[in-house]
Every structure is written in structure tokens, then in C-alpha cells.
Amino acid sequence: MSGDSAGHVARSTAAPGSGAAARTRVRRFLRTADGVAVDALYEPGAAGAGVAAGHPGDPSGTSDVDPAFDHVFVIAHGFTGDLDRPHVRRAARAFARHGAVVTFSFRGHGASGGRSTVGDREVLDLAAAVAWARGFGHARVTTVGFSMGGSVVLRHAALYGGEASTALYGGPGGEAGEAGGAGKAATDATDATDATGAADAAGRAEAREGASATEAARARAGAREEAAGSPGADARTDAVISVSAPARWYYRGTAPMRRLHWLVMRPTGRLVGRWGLRTRIHHREWDPVPLSPVAAAARIAPVPLLIVHGDRDAYFPLDHPRMLAAAAGDHGELWLEPGMGHAENAAPDPLLDRMARWAIAQAG
């Protein structure tokens, strides 16, 4: 496989689970649970030699693999990014020094199909990428999300995370109702890209706490079906790193977020997004409103969570990461980075390395 851009790339047909696939770069389109084609890239990075030695497809049958080399990082980019953007490639290179890396373009971004729902159905894109990453035989997966991607990794971990997801599916009205965004996404394949919005909804989320029994059942069945779109796929994550993420939806407290709302909510803004930023944005508002990042952070345990935020973030002030950390409780860790701005562009390589080492350390 070779190629640097989404438009000029030879896509490998090597299947996850083969020794060859584990040692080579693979680029392909994944299919999400609601039928969207997502452009994804697997790079063995530092894991290349280590995974091959203990991979299920290895003829030697050996299985003692250094945890640092049996780790795969799945990187979820921010709004208007894609897997070929320079800042995403730089982050991928940093994490590749510590393990294998999967990057992908969210729906409506880059070469992926569909239209962006600004953090709602994107959870299905991440689930497909995580299941694909696990198919290469890695023992541990860490999801790493930036900005919009940071909110998606939180919600993904809450929806796909063992005890937390069991509580979510069977929980009281607010939990089932907010989960309905993802559940409906998986079950309603005829409307492949629903809902757009851009940031906090305490009031609107609360209004949905009395979700109907029908919608709750739909959420439970749909979230199970969501597990990456293929029967038996394992879309759970073992650790979560959320960088520059909002704590709540519909936040308009900063000038950059007011501009983002104009981009998402106005027809002229969506035209600018499509032609100026290469991002195709859905025109519909969220219905129902998905689980908020702060609510998701409270449901991730026992999966370890790292929250990273810059003290010069122009989009989301420091009350956002502090709210996330408070919701996460003892299983969450908060790093407030002096001088750092927003998301991938602002994260220096030494910080990315520290984040990767944190993830490796969680493996014990």
C-alpha cells in the first residue's frame, strides 16, 4: 500500500487477523453500523516487529509480546480534520513510536462518505475503527480524541464499555434517552446521517430524560448492534485520552465557538464548510440529543481516562476539563498544560509522547 492523500492511494485487501496484515500498512474503507464508508489507515509503527512475534497468525506460535509493542492507538481527529491533514499525520507519527496506529476520517470529512453530525453518529465511525484495529491482533486499544474527537471517544467508551454500558442500557430515563442517539443511529439505516448541532445541552438533554419505553428499548438494541457494524466485532477500548474536549453541548461562550455554530447551523456556513474546509455537514439538528461528554465521563469506569487541556485553549475554557475530571472521579486523570492552545495543532510532540507512555502504563 502506498499513497499520501485520500484521493491517490492503493488500498490493500489484506485482512485483519493475518500475520502479513499486522506487519504492513493497510488502507481501506470501513463500513459503519449505519452504512457509511469511513476511510481508515493502519500503520504498524513500533508494534510492527512486536505484534508479529505474538500475533495469532504467527507460525512460531509465540505469545510473549512486550505490552508496549502490542498496543494500538486509534486517533479521532477534530472537526474539519481528516486522516491526511498534516497535524493528524504528525500526531500519528508521535504515537507510532509507541505502538501501532489507526487513523481515520470521520463521516463528512476527507474521503469518507456521509455528512458530519458534529459528534453524534461519529461514535459509529470510531466503533468501526476500534473493531478494525482489534482485528490486527493487538491486545490493547487506546482511543485518543481531539476536540470533537475528544467528545466522541468519551461517548464511545461509555456506550461500549462493559459495566458502564450495561448500566447505561438498563439505566433510568435520562441514560436510556440520551443513549438513544447512538442506538437510533445503528438501527435506522435508512437515514444514514442524522442530526447536527454543535456544543452543550443541559436543558435539552434534561428535557429528554423521560424517553419513551420504545426509544429506550431501541437504544439498548441499537447500541449492541453498533459494535462496529459486524457480528461479534469487539469495539470496546482499554483506555481513553480526551484532548481539548467540550464538557457540554451547545457551548457558545467563546468567539471561535460562535463561529463554529454559524458554520454548522447556517446554510451559508455549511457551504463554507463544504468548499472551504472540505467538510460536508448535515443540516438536521440532533434528535435526540446524544449523551453529553460530562455525562459520558461519569459512565466510563473502570476504563482509565486521561483528560488533557491547554490553559490557552481559545475554544473551551478550563471549566470544561475540570467538569469532565470531576465527573470521571477516581478513574480519571487531568493534565492542564501550560501554554497549550487547542487540539492537535497545539499539542507538542513531547506531550504526545507523554500521553502514549501514560496509555502503555495503564496496561500494567
User: What does the angle CA 28 – CA 34 – CA 35 come to, to the nearest 5 degrees?
Assistant: 40
Query: In the structure grid, which three cell numbers stand for residue 191, read together?
Result: 437515514
Whole-angstrom Cα distance, residue 331 to residue 317? Answer: 22
Q: Where do we find the cell 513510536?
A: 97
Stated pTM of the model = 0.75
The grid coordinates of residue 266 equal: 447556517
Residue of 55, 136, 41 whose CA lies nearest to 95: 41
Given phi > 0 = left and psi -120 to 50 = alpha, else beta, which region is 30?
A: beta
Residue type, position 253, single letter: G
HEC profile of 265-328: HCHHHHHHHHHHCCECECCCECCCCCCCHHHHHCCCCCCCEEEEEECCCCCCCCHHHHHHHHHH
User: How many angstroms separate the CA atoms of 82 and 100, rounded?
Assistant: 18
* Calpha distance 233→265 (Å, rounded): 35
**CB-based contact 148:311 (threshold 8 Å):** no
Output the nine-digit C-alpha cell for 156: 464511545
CA distance 16 to 128: 13
Provide the residue type at 364 as one letter: G
Per residue of the chain (364 residues), what is the pLDDT tens digit? 333 333 333 344 344 544 434 468 999 999 999 999 999 999 998 766 544 333 443 333 433 445 556 899 999 999 988 999 999 999 999 999 999 999 999 999 999 999 999 989 999 999 999 999 999 989 899 999 999 999 999 999 999 974 444 433 332 223 333 333 333 332 232 232 232 233 233 333 332 333 333 333 334 434 444 443 443 468 999 999 999 999 999 999 999 889 888 888 888 888 887 887 788 888 888 889 999 999 999 999 999 999 999 999 999 999 999 999 999 999 899 999 999 999 999 999 999 999 999 999 997 6
Considering only CA atoms, which of 297, 294, 333, 301 is closest in space to residue 316? 294
Give the integer Cα–Cα distance in Å for 195 and 298: 24
